[in-house]
Amino acid sequence: MPGKRILVVKGSPREKGNSSLLADQLVEGARSSGAEVEVIILQNLNIQACTACDACLEAPENGCILEDDMQVLYPKLLRADAIAIATPIYWFTMSAQTKLFIDRWYALESPQGNALKGKTFGIILTYGDTDAVTSGAINAIRSFEDMFRFLKAEVAGFVYGSANQAGEVKSQKDLLARAYKLGQKMAC
């Protein structure tokens, strides 16, 4: 049996940021369980904001008409069995990079439901503040929960923790282990 196809999307501008490092652990966990993993770094891509032009609603067969790097990401999203999103918490919710990417899912809507329906999601969040409440990670968690309920998607889990300086997360064994296990879970 071929392994699950997992798309890992990094929403941090920092290549070695804490959420990115946790995502790397998730990747290792997923690969250790036989998954085929691809990693995307949003900061390196050109992704425009959704313009709400509704061209995708009027002609779903054409999809989104904005010509940017989402045209490469859309087929990857459709092919994936599971999607992991790793984002730092900025200003009490997910990063703008991550939100740009998500807003473009609008073009995946169809009368049969969104094309992401039934896929499995895993979320990684890091923040400089002390906890998930004071940092506002809870607001991102609630947004993601609402999304997955709307999409009728499966939720493999949320891994989140406090880590401020880039790379600081490396000393947090428990957090690293939880990200690794989330990867294993998404691969099953």
Q: Nearest distance from residue 185's CB to its own copies, in Å? A: 16
Specify the residue, 36 or 103, whose C-beta has the smaller distance to its own copies: 103
Q: Which of 123, 151, 153 is nearest to 137 (CA)?
A: 123
Q: Nearest distance from residue 188's CB to its own copies, in Å? A: 18
Contacts of 98 (CB under 8 A, 6+ apart): 9, 11, 42, 85, 87
Place of tokens 């989402």: 70
Specify the residue, 35 or 102, whose C-beta has the smaller distance to its own copies: 102
40 half-sphere exposure, CB direction, 13 A CA radius: 24
Q: Nearest distance from residue 100's CB to its own copies, in Å? A: 4
Residues that bind its own copies (CB under 8 A): 12-14, 17, 43, 49-53, 88, 90-97, 99-100, 102-103, 105-106, 131-133, 136-139, 141-143, 145-147, 150, 158, 160
Specify the residue, 84 or 94, whose C-beta has the smaller distance to its own copies: 94
Specify the residue, 35 or 175, whose C-beta has the smaller distance to its own copies: 175
Q: Nearest distance from residue 108's CB to its own copies, in Å? A: 11
Residues paired with 10 in a beta bridge: 41, 86
Helix, strand, coil percent values for the chain (each to nearest 5)? 40, 20, 35
Specify the residue, 33 or 43, whose C-beta has the smaller distance to its own copies: 43
Specify the residue, 82 or 108, whose C-beta has the smaller distance to its own copies: 108
Q: Nearest distance from residue 84's CB to its own copies, in Å? A: 17
Euclidean distance between CA atoms 36 and 143, whole angstroms: 28
What is the β-pairing status of strands 120-127 and 154-162?
parallel
Q: Nearest distance from residue 3's CB to its own copies, in Å? A: 27
Instruction: Tell me the H-state helices in the chain.
Output: 18-32, 55-58, 70-79, 96-103, 137-151, 173-186
